[in-house]
A and B are shown apart, each in its own frame.
Chain A
Amino acid sequence: MIELQGLTKRYGDTRVVDDISLTVEQGEFCVLIGPSGCGKSTTLKMINRLIAHSEGRILVGGEDVTTLPPELLRRRIGYAIQSTGLFPHWRVAENIATVPRLLKWSTSRINARVDELLALFQLDADDLRDKYPHQLSGGQAQRVGVARALAADPDVLLMDEPFGAVDPLTRDALQVELARVHRQTGKTIVFVTHDMDEALRLASRVALLNGGRLVQYDRPAELLVDPANDFVRDFIGRADLGLKLLSRRRVEQYYQPAQGTRDATITQAATTHARPTWQVDADNRPLALIGGRLEEPATVRTDVNGEWTATPDMSMKEALSRMVWFRVTALPVLDDQGRLLGEVTMAGVMGHRP
């Protein structure tokens, strides 16, 4: 979908982007990452020609980007930036309608599209349509910013550190949402960040840049287990490599069948603490864990509450964190009705090769 061929940007004698070649396939989520000044933002902005490239070629959908006037090219490519860049004098609906209006869509088509996008980002259209950007929370503004980028249904979406200026909690929610929107729309996304956790969480491919050069372009797991050199290893962070890997894994890849019993009188786990027993109610909802505590007898009973359970789409990093925090060796994995699907255990965390 996007092809960079020997892409170079020079300012005088300095090459801020130096001979980068890579291909982003249709539907891919490509994250450009690297330390400050590595040329990741410049690379991104050369794709929609906000910055002119010095050498090389850029193909979007097989077409050289220089064949179109830059404005027409940009209307076909979504663009979202840090601190949203929302137009402060336009209402939310007008902001989202920016590109459709430039493309002279009919009013009814624009209105329908605005509603559709607000719904996609789970924003309340009646409440937000007529608000001005300064009346939005940081998270809402950022969602509107991404919705605006998607307004004319572009095949390609460029995002320049879009979540750089929001608090960690909001950023977390936005990442989850962007991943969902990406799954739902199948857009090709190029996303710039300097945050490795964000990259690992979102990317289907990571391009690691340093000093204007492409150091490694790989799937996140390959980047983690097979780093090209010490720079990559350092940049990922050697210390919590294992945790980073687990942050890429989801509970559904790890959980195993659990032993449930409806026997309310049970006092001792059937087996050792490595395989505890779950007491469940008539609907198969877990009530208590029998055993499953380190250095405690297998008879100890721990009531299940919402805080130390797992869901299939939870990251394994979070599941492990909960096990450590609540000092249990197993978490019940629940479906959306709260029924016991299985369990993840401390031993199970190690059970997979990365």
Chain B
Amino acid sequence: MTSPAVSTVGAGRVLANRVLVTLLIAGLAAAWLLPFASMSPNRLASGQSVALGGALTMWQAAGMLVLTVMLGLAALQRPLSRRLAHGVTLTASLALLLITLYALGDYAQRTLVERSPSARVSQGAAFWVIVFCCALAAIDTLQRHASGWITRLGYAALAGGAVAFLLASGHFRDLSIMREYANIRDTFSDQLLTHLGLVGAALGPALAIGVPLGLLAHRRARVRGTLFSVLNVFQTIPSIALFALLVAPLSALGNAFPFLAELGIKGIGAAPAIIALVMYALLPVVRNTYSGLKGVPPATVEAARGMGMTQRQVLWRVEIPLALPVMLSGLRIVTVQAIGLTVVAALIGAGGLGAFIFQGLGQYAIDLVLLGAIPTIVLAVIADFMLQMLVALSQPAGTR
């Protein structure tokens, strides 16, 4: 018996947040249809599915239900005000995320007590979908609300801190992926540092070469076409091919000049990886430097010259400050891209988190793959977030 008032207004009036509704439906469908966890007798055997209902304790199930209902209410036009709904969404999605993580670890601890030591519990598809939906709901709400940077930073720190706390407390120790981690703990931090080192070693030269090239492209129209076509070619070479292409000339170089080989310039290892990463990074750096400078109003530059600024003064006092946000957006693209591409560099012996991924693929050990992939994703997300903040902070005060 629907009331006439409800039946006459369209769906758009009842639902205030269609994204949230979609995410809720996806999450519920996944919880209903997909396995939440899987249980296998040993590391390599395929497991048997465990549904969400079977994995939760009573209070966990009740908590998830309450949070889901809260999110459902927040997505509706009434009874919550928009402001309140935003707050509820942010709180409930984070709480739901944490309960899901907690429940998985808890399930592993409870079940493995009575099993053989080689038995493994790993996360299933429904787990990933729910985590993903919670994260998206929070991100969407932050953007919808046009939240300030302080709010975003605080929220991210809270969420990151809570997850880190769960990890550090050893709550997940019985999960398959954490057992895998225990095996490689010694090499993990080395590879993580190698990964970051490769990214940093590529970004430095990319900026040192790319920014002046972008300036050149801005100043000399004739150079611009050639420069961009060359850089475009780099960008179109598949990354594995580029890494491979660099192996031959560099090993020849290393063989011809042994002192270079001692410096690390040889066919495999860090040198070809860094060179390839720099080549990929150049186009975005150059393009964003160029378009940032091009976006400075010509009248402003003319006024600066007309006032008697030297070319250097015009560049440093007017052009660079006004172009900085666009230039930093380029850095953001390049950083995220380099974090991803460095994974492939493991193939030519440069190390990094990619090493785990390829090792895991070789052994058909999915948990090892995830140990390489998840930290890479987290690194990329953190870098993206921090550079976004930097871009916002670099907006000249007068144009913010």
Is the C-beta of A231 less than 8 angstroms from some C-beta in chain B? no
Residue of A whose beta carbon sits closest to that of B396: A89
Q: Which of A74-82, A260-268, A332-340 contacts B (4 or more CB under 8 A)?
A: A74-82
B313 interface residue (CB < 8 Å to A):
yes
A85 touching B299, Cβ below 8 Å: yes
| B308 engages A84 (CB within 8 Å) | no
Instruction: State the CA gap A89–B299 with chains docked (Å).
Output: 14
Q: Which residues of B contact A148 (CB under 8 A)?
A: 307
Chain A residue nearest to B324 (CB atoms) is A89
In the assembled complex, which residues on chain B have CB atoms less than 8 Å from the CB atom of A270? none
- Interface: B306 (CB within 8 A): yes
Interface residues of B in 367-400 (CB under 8 A from A): 396-399
Tell whether, in the assembled complex, residue B300 and residue A50 are in contact, meaning their CB atoms are under 8 Å apart: no
Cross-chain contact A86 with B303 (CB below 8 angstroms): yes
- Pair A102/B313 contact, Cβ less than 8 Å: yes
Q: Looking at chain B's contact residues, is the secondary structure mostly helix, strand, loop, or mixed? A: helix
- The interface on chain B, measured as residues whose beta carbon lies within 8 A of the other chain's beta carbons, has a size of 20
Q: Which of A223-274 contact B (CB under 8 A)?
A: none
- Residues on B with beta carbons closer than 8 Å to the beta carbon of A132: 397-399
Q: Does A197 sit at the interface, judged by CB under 8 A?
A: no
Interface string of B300-315 (1 = CB under 8 A from A): 1011111111100100
Q: How distant is the Cα of A74 from the Cα of B398 in the complex, in angstroms?
A: 26
For residue B309, which residues in chain A have a CB less than 8 angstroms away from its CB? 71, 98, 102
Q: List residues of chain B with CB within 8 A of the CB of A71.
A: 308-310
Q: Could you tell me the distance between the alpha carbons of A132 and B299 in the complex, rounded to whole angstroms? A: 17
Q: Is B300 within 8 A of A85, CB to CB?
A: yes
Q: Within residues 135 to 181 of chain A, which ones have a CB less than 8 A from any CB in chain B?
A: 145, 148, 158
Interface centre among B307, B318, B321 (most CB of A within 10 A): B307
Q: A134 touching B300 by the CB < 8 A rule?
A: no
Question: Please, which residues of chain B bring their CB within 8 A of the CB of A133?
Answer: 398
Give the docked Cα–Cα distance between A102 and B396 (Å): 21
The contact size tier of chain A is: 20 to 34
Flag whether A308 is at the interface (Cβ < 8 A): no
Q: In residues 54-79 of chain A, which contact B (Cβ within 8 Å)?
A: 71-76, 79
Contacts of A158 in B (CB 8 A): 306
Complex contact A81–B299 (CB within 8 A): yes
Known: A79-B303, A81-B306. A89 touches B398 (CB 8 A): yes
Of A50, A98, A133, A134, most buried by chain B (CB within 10 Å of CB) is A98
The interface centre, meaning the residue of A90, A91, A133 with most chain B CB atoms within 10 A of its CB, is A90
CB-CB under 8 A for A88 and B399, given A81-B299, A81-B302, A81-B303: yes
Question: Is A48 an interface position by the 8 A CB rule?
Answer: yes
- Which residues of B313-362 are within 8 A (CB) of A? 313, 318, 321-322
**Shortest distance from the beta carbon of A53 to any chain B beta carbon, whole Å:** 16
Cβ-neighbour of B299 out of A83, A90, A102 (below 8 A):
A83
Determine which residue in B299, B322, B398 has the highest number of CB atoms from chain A within 10 A of its CB, and name it: B398
CA distance A330 to B321 in the complex (A): 60
Q: Give chain A nearest CB distance to B363 CB in angstroms.
A: 55
The chain A residue sitting closest to B303, CB to CB, is A85
Q: Nearest chain-A residue to B298 (Cβ)?
A: A85
A121 contacts B by Cβ under 8 Å: no
CB distance from B345 to the nearest CB of A (A): 39
Counting CB contacts under 8 A, is A99 at the interface? Answer: yes
Question: Which residues of the partner chain A approach B310 to less than 8 Å between Cβ atoms?
Answer: 71
- Given A85-B299, A85-B302, A88-B322, check contact A79 B307 (CB 8 Å): yes
Q: For residue A76, which residues in chain B have a CB less than 8 angstroms away from its CB?
A: 308
CB <8 Å contact, A90 and B398: yes
Q: Measured between C-beta atoms, what is the minimum distance from A189 to chain B in Å?
A: 15
Q: How far is the CB of B298 from chain A (nearest CB, A)?
A: 9
Min distance, Cβ A188 to any Cβ of chain B, angstroms = 17
> Is A89 touching B322 in the complex (CB atoms < 8 A)?
yes
Distance (whole angstroms) from the CB of A131 to the closest CB of chain B: 9
Q: Which of A75, A89, A98 has the most CB of B within 10 A?
A: A89
B302's partner among A50, A75, A99 (CB-CB below 8 A) is: A50
Which 9 interchain pairs have the tightest Cβ spacing?
A85-B303, A89-B396, A132-B398, A75-B308, A74-B308, A79-B306, A85-B299, A88-B398, A71-B308
A-B contact pairs, 21 of them (CB 8 A): A71-B308, A72-B308, A73-B308, A74-B305, A74-B306, A75-B307, A79-B303, A82-B299, A83-B299, A85-B300, A85-B302, A85-B306, A86-B303, A87-B303, A87-B304, A87-B398, A88-B300, A89-B321, A98-B304, A102-B308, A133-B398
Given contacts A84-B299, A89-B396, A134-B399, 7 further A-B contacts (CB under 8 A): A50-B306, A85-B299, A85-B302, A88-B396, A99-B308, A102-B308, A134-B398
